Chain A
Amino acid sequence: MTLSIERQVITGFAVTLLLFSAIGTVSYRSTTQLASNAESVKQASEVLAQLAGILSLATDAETGQRGFTVTGDESFLEPYHGAAAGVRARLLALRGTLVDPAQQRRLDALELVTTERLDVARQIIEARRSLGFEAARDMTAKGMGKQVHDRLRAVVREMQAAEEAILREREEATRATARFTVTVVLLGAGIALLWVIGALLLIQRSLRLHHQVERALREAHEFNQAILDGAEDAIISGDAAGIRTFNRGAERLLGWSADEVVGRHTAAIFFDPAEIAQRAQSLSAQLNRAFAPDLEVLLVKTRTGQPDEHEWTFIRKDGSRVPVLLTVTALRDATGAIRSFLGIARDITAQKRAEAAMRKSYDQLALAKERAEAADRVKSAFLATMSHELRTPLNSIIGFTGVLLQELAGPLNAEQRKQLQMVRDSARHLLALINDVLDISKIEAGELRVDAAPFDLRASIEKVAGIVKPLAEKKGLRLDVTLPRESVETVGDPRRVEQVLLNLLNNAIKFTERGSVALTVRLSVSHLEIAVSDTGIGIEPHDLATLFRPFRQVDSTLTRAYEGTGLGLAISQRLARLMGGELRAESEWRKGSVFTLALPLTRAPAP
């Protein structure tokens, strides 16, 4: 499984080759063996034929000798003469053929007995020639020939039996060899076939795998290409030799087609040499190292592992320029060496335009702010001037009426006194109005400051109670002021606290015809609460909501002897808040109202 395709194929073929070699060798050997066996069988057959021939020749010689013995006719000896030569030739042939030592020994015996047989025949023939028929017949009758012939036959039979045994043995060996050969060939062929089939399957599987890998690679490549082409940004990769990747975004941004630049140009064609030089200079200054003004400046930062993000002006094919934000990353090979770079450039024309617009609108905003501030300063100065200019004549009016009423300039009659008092009251009312309008203007402009110093509340309450007491008495109202037993220190601006309390008490007295106005002081955990309650007309629920808005008069039909601006409560609530407190109103229509001023209690020892 872990072997490579090549190794698998080579191993498969090597094993198959070895198998076929083995089969070939075994077959060759078996065939050789078979041939040799066949030769042996043939030899054995020849031996048997020779042996039969020898016996036959010997018998022929005997027959010839007998014919000659009976007839004395020399022509009967023909077979005898032939037999002697034939037997010698056959014996010689056997000597060359037989290899078995036992057969060799038997051959020696055969030669002896054959020679003896022919000798006996010759003796009888000679006896016939020299001694005549009887002598020869007697020799034959004595059984000389028969005896030796039987011996000859016996030896031949023995040899024939031995040779037949050898023949059988050899035939058996041949059959065994043939069986072995067939087995080996069949088995080898089977195994080889299996191997070949296995190898085929392996190759097929490898091919399938190879196709799968190829398809996956192709798909991955297509996917990468789709990513590259789908990207809005320009993606450019390359090295010193030239550009390697140039996606559609790059084509759109720079006006070059990929075919025109890939492998033909380096990224330098997109850069303004002046900018590169500038960058080299600033990098040299930053890193205290000299950098040449070439594309290497893009890679300086990337060598430390971080991408280099920088704004550049790219030059298009047509020479036009486009501002881009370029991020350069070094591409490293498996060994970590930087082989090439990857640049992703984004067109920042719109961003630049927006930045410029924003700068412009920011400048405009700053200008508008400056103007508004100038207008504010003018307004403040106007308020201050108004405060002074309006009060100055009132100062005279109130002052001189007072002087006249004191009769310092001379005695007054009753009517003059009454009228002068009306002038003074009107002037005081006007002053109060002016003060209210100025107060609310300053509060709304955030220009009114209040003290936040500890002060004695008791003194302030006594002071305002003293001021409103004559008013309550004049209307026949009871004024109940419940002061705390000890002096209470709270935090705030005493003048403003007094202003608020005076406003609340004046209101209560103004809107109450019968009954009483009461002021009570209560301490809570964090606040001091001063409640001004009355038994007056009260406030309807829908009016409670707008009670503290400036320029609101709850009931405009009600006559107001004093302070008719409707600003008193608005000012009072804002003053309470400026002092870190709160002014609340509760009321029941026709039953009365309760206004509660809550102020923070004394803080830790004030400086």
Chain B
Amino acid sequence: MKRRILLIEDNENNRYLVTFLLEQHGYEVVHAPDGPQGLHLANQARPDLILLDIQLPGMDGYAVVRALKSDPATRSIPVVAVTSYAMCGDRERTIAAGCCGYIEKPIDPDTFVPAVERLLPESGGKDVP
């Protein structure tokens, strides 16, 4: 069974890039363009990991991660912040909001997938084909 990653990202190009990279590495990717849809999908699809853009229109990433962590159904899913904020304190703020990791934009195809895999909980056995 392929490991499933939920990507919440408003920019279509980035969604495509991340999806392409991860699918190339054998992951199943579901994505949502904003927070509310992301929360819905997190409940529906039960992903193994959520990649979350912080700067989302409307409901921002911090609100999304707090909502995920307050819902018992999604509480245990690890959330990784993917953001181009890159400012002092951002890392701390995302961790404080409930994220378990932080990947900085722009995404470097050479390092992105290894970074995601480091944050993915080891469960389910056969993950990479």
**Cross-chain contact A398 with B55 (CB below 8 angstroms):** no
What's the nearest-Cβ distance from chain A to residue B18, in Å?
A: 8
Contact of B14 among A392, A408, A409, A448 (CB under 8 A): A392
Q: Which of B55, B84, B89 has the most CB of A within 10 A?
A: B84
Contact with A along B12-42 (1 / 0, CB 8 A): 0110010011001000000000000000000
Taken together as a complex, chains A and B put the C-alpha atoms of A237 and B124 apart, in Å, by 103
**Cross-chain contact A399 with B89 (CB below 8 angstroms):** no
**Cross-chain contact A394 with B24 (CB below 8 angstroms):** no
Taken together as a complex, chains A and B put the C-alpha atoms of A435 and B11 apart, in Å, by 20
**Cross-chain contact B88 with A399 (CB below 8 angstroms):** no
Q: How large is the interface on B (under 10, 10 to 19, 20 to 34, 35 or more residues)?
A: 20 to 34
Whether A289 is near chain B, meaning CB under 8 Å from some CB there, is no
Residues in A whose Cβ lies below 8 Å from that of B86: 435
Provide the main secondary structure of the chain A interface: helix
Whether A450 is near chain B, meaning CB under 8 Å from some CB there, is yes
Contact of B11 among A387, A392, A398 (CB under 8 A): A392
Taken together as a complex, chains A and B put the C-alpha atoms of A448 and B88 apart, in Å, by 8
**Cross-chain contact A400 with B17 (CB below 8 angstroms):** yes
**Cross-chain contact B14 with A399 (CB below 8 angstroms):** yes
**Cross-chain contact A451 with B14 (CB below 8 angstroms):** no
What's the nearest-Cβ distance from chain A to residue B109, in Å?
A: 3
Residues in B whose Cβ lies below 8 Å from that of A395: 11, 13-14, 17, 84, 105-107
Taken together as a complex, chains A and B put the C-alpha atoms of A406 and B110 apart, in Å, by 8
**Cross-chain contact B20 with A451 (CB below 8 angstroms):** no
Whether B108 is near chain A, meaning CB under 8 Å from some CB there, is yes
Taken together as a complex, chains A and B put the C-alpha atoms of A127 and B28 apart, in Å, by 223
Residues in A whose Cβ lies below 8 Å from that of B24: 408
**Cross-chain contact A396 with B13 (CB below 8 angstroms):** yes
Pair count A-B, CB < 8 A: 67
Interface size on A, residues (CB 8 A): 26
**Cross-chain contact A408 with B20 (CB below 8 angstroms):** yes
Within 8 A of A (CB), among B107-121: 107-110
**Cross-chain contact B106 with A403 (CB below 8 angstroms):** no
Residues in A whose Cβ lies below 8 Å from that of B87: 448-449
Within 8 A of A (CB), among B56-113: 84-89, 105-110
What's the nearest-Cβ distance from chain B to residue A268, in Å?
A: 70
Whether A331 is near chain B, meaning CB under 8 Å from some CB there, is no
Residues in A whose Cβ lies below 8 Å from that of B84: 387-388, 391-392, 395
**Cross-chain contact B105 with A408 (CB below 8 angstroms):** no
Contact with B along A439-459 (1 / 0, CB 8 A): 000000000111100000000
**Cross-chain contact B107 with A399 (CB below 8 angstroms):** yes
Taken together as a complex, chains A and B put the C-alpha atoms of A208 and B67 apart, in Å, by 108
**Cross-chain contact A399 with B17 (CB below 8 angstroms):** yes
Given contacts A388-B55, A431-B106, A451-B88, contact A403 B11 (CB under 8 A): no
Looking across the interface, which residue of chain A has its beta carbon closest to that of B12? A396
What's the nearest-Cβ distance from chain B to residue A494, in Å?
A: 11
Taken together as a complex, chains A and B put the C-alpha atoms of A393 and B14 apart, in Å, by 9
Residues in A whose Cβ lies below 8 Å from that of B88: 448-451, 493, 495-496
Residues in B whose Cβ lies below 8 Å from that of A399: 13-14, 17, 21, 106-109
Within 8 A of B (CB), among A506-557: none
Q: Which of A391, A399, A403 has the most CB of B within 10 A?
A: A399
**Cross-chain contact A402 with B105 (CB below 8 angstroms):** no
**Cross-chain contact B17 with A394 (CB below 8 angstroms):** no
Taken together as a complex, chains A and B put the C-alpha atoms of A398 and B86 apart, in Å, by 17
Looking across the interface, which residue of chain A has its beta carbon closest to that of B82? A395
What's the nearest-Cβ distance from chain A to residue B123, in Å?
A: 26
Within 8 A of B (CB), among A398-434: 398-400, 402-403, 405-406, 408-409, 431
Taken together as a complex, chains A and B put the C-alpha atoms of A136 and B62 apart, in Å, by 200
**Cross-chain contact B13 with A391 (CB below 8 angstroms):** no
Taken together as a complex, chains A and B put the C-alpha atoms of A450 and B92 apart, in Å, by 13
Residues in B whose Cβ lies below 8 Å from that of A392: 11, 13-14, 84
Taken together as a complex, chains A and B put the C-alpha atoms of A394 and B104 apart, in Å, by 13
**Cross-chain contact B17 with A403 (CB below 8 angstroms):** yes
Taken together as a complex, chains A and B put the C-alpha atoms of A496 and B89 apart, in Å, by 13
Looking across the interface, which residue of chain B has its beta carbon closest to that of A390? B84
Residues in A whose Cβ lies below 8 Å from that of B89: 449, 451
Looking across the interface, which residue of chain B has its beta carbon closest to that of A435? B86
Residues in A whose Cβ lies below 8 Å from that of B11: 392, 395-396
Taken together as a complex, chains A and B put the C-alpha atoms of A305 and B17 apart, in Å, by 87
Looking across the interface, which residue of chain B has its beta carbon closest to that of A406? B109
Looking across the interface, which residue of chain B has its beta carbon closest to that of A447? B87
**Cross-chain contact B14 with A396 (CB below 8 angstroms):** yes
**Cross-chain contact A402 with B20 (CB below 8 angstroms):** no
Looking across the interface, which residue of chain A has its beta carbon closest to that of B23? A408
What's the nearest-Cβ distance from chain B to residue A389, in Å?
A: 10
**Cross-chain contact B108 with A402 (CB below 8 angstroms):** yes
What's the nearest-Cβ distance from chain A to residue B14, in Å?
A: 6
Residues in B whose Cβ lies below 8 Å from that of A396: 11, 13-14, 17
Looking across the interface, which residue of chain B has its beta carbon closest to that of A391? B84
What's the nearest-Cβ distance from chain B to residue A251, in Å?
A: 71
What's the nearest-Cβ distance from chain A to residue B58, in Å?
A: 15
**Cross-chain contact B55 with A402 (CB below 8 angstroms):** no
Taken together as a complex, chains A and B put the C-alpha atoms of A408 and B85 apart, in Å, by 28
Taken together as a complex, chains A and B put the C-alpha atoms of A388 and B87 apart, in Å, by 12
Looking across the interface, which residue of chain B has its beta carbon closest to that of A496? B88
Residues in B whose Cβ lies below 8 Å from that of A400: 13, 17
**Cross-chain contact A391 with B109 (CB below 8 angstroms):** no
Taken together as a complex, chains A and B put the C-alpha atoms of A402 and B109 apart, in Å, by 5
Residues in B whose Cβ lies below 8 Å from that of A398: 106-108
Residues in A whose Cβ lies below 8 Å from that of B17: 395-396, 399-400, 403
**Cross-chain contact A403 with B13 (CB below 8 angstroms):** no
Taken together as a complex, chains A and B put the C-alpha atoms of A448 and B45 apart, in Å, by 40
Taken together as a complex, chains A and B put the C-alpha atoms of A496 and B109 apart, in Å, by 24
Taken together as a complex, chains A and B put the C-alpha atoms of A493 and B90 apart, in Å, by 13
Residues on B facing A (Cβ under 8 Å) = 11, 13-14, 17, 20-21, 24, 55, 84-89, 105-110
Give 7 new A-B contacts, CB below 8 A, not counting A395-B105, A399-B107, A402-B107. A391-B106, A395-B13, A398-B108, A399-B14, A403-B109, A431-B106, A496-B88
A-B contact pairs, 6 of them (CB 8 A): A388-B55, A392-B14, A393-B13, A395-B14, A405-B109, A450-B88
Please name the 6 residue pairs, one residue from A and one from B, whose CB atoms are nearest each other, closest first.
A402-B109, A396-B13, A395-B106, A399-B17, A391-B84, A398-B106
